[in-house]
Amino acid sequence: MRLLPAMALSLSLLFSTHTIADDVALIRRLAPDLKPAVISEAVSAMKCAQRNGVGAFANRLAIIDYTLPSRTPRLWVVDLKKRKLLFEEFVAHGRGSGDDVPNAFSNLEGSHQTSLGLYLTDETYEGGNGYSLKLQGLSRGFNESAMERYIVMHGAAYVNPDAVPELGRLGRSLGCPAVRNEVARPLIDTLKLGQFIYAHGPGTAKLASCRTENLAFVGNSTAGGSSTDNS
């Protein structure tokens, strides 16, 4: 799937009729445990992408707050068109990012760290971690290497809240935003093919500003990943 080119700008404006304030107010009502500042940041980054011709037809936004501990739900999925909260879920971070509360993030291959910023979802595939969702990194300096790193959303047995009392945290990935196996397929199906995921963490506040230096709208997705995907 290719990102929408700049010529799609008029379409993005046509199909994104809600203002930032409208969407922020809606998400605050649907997800009261999500920090208002994180919501504003995520929506601003999404609207910036749409104004630049990316994700014109998106109506779903997932927000991950990686300043929260892994032992609590920190992933919310909202349908902005139907005005519904679809999921409030646990999500893993990379083992290189720290223990319960991640404190290190990277865009580099081999770091096993989580990448922050705005993603546009791509196609699904069956890989080493089962049903998985490819992600296009849109935030320069934060996640533009997501395809090359095989950073995908997938289910994993280690995303098990029942293990928290023993471990003191959720299980960790190799950098992917892994979710519980029980919800992986329906969650992925709500987000596949041109929806948005926003991962908030240290330093991402700058992404709320729609500046060229924050944008990494790469051209196409050619990543495979059936045998080399991260976990």
* pLDDT per position as a tens digit, 122-166: 999 999 999 999 999 999 999 999 999 999 999 999 999 999 999
What CATH number corresponds to the domain at position 187? 2.40.440.10
In a domain, 36, yes or no: yes
What percent helix, strand, coil does the chain show, rounded to 5? 30, 25, 45
Nearest-angstrom CA–CA distance, 63 and 118: 9
Q: Which of 141, 118, 137 is nearest to 45 (CA)?
A: 118
Total number of domains in the chain: 1
In a domain, 142, yes or no: yes
As beta bridge partners, residue 92 has none
Q: Which residue has the tokens 């199909």?
A: 15
In a domain, 153, yes or no: yes
Q: pTM value? A: 0.89
Band the pLDDT of 9: cuts 50, 70, 90: very low
In a domain, 89, yes or no: yes
Structure tokens, 194 = 């041109």
Q: Which of 47, 10, 22 is nearest to 214 (CA)?
A: 47
In a domain, 164, yes or no: yes
Structural domain of 182: 6-214
In a domain, 1, yes or no: no
| Pairing state between β 60-65 and 196-200 | parallel
pLDDT tens, residue by residue, 183-201: 999 999 999 999 999 999 9
Question: Could you report how far apart the first and last alpha carbons of the chain are, in Å?
Answer: 22
Q: Which of 35, 103, 42 is nearest to 70 (CA)?
A: 103
Residue 14, pLDDT above cutoff 50: no
In a domain, 190, yes or no: yes
In a domain, 13, yes or no: yes
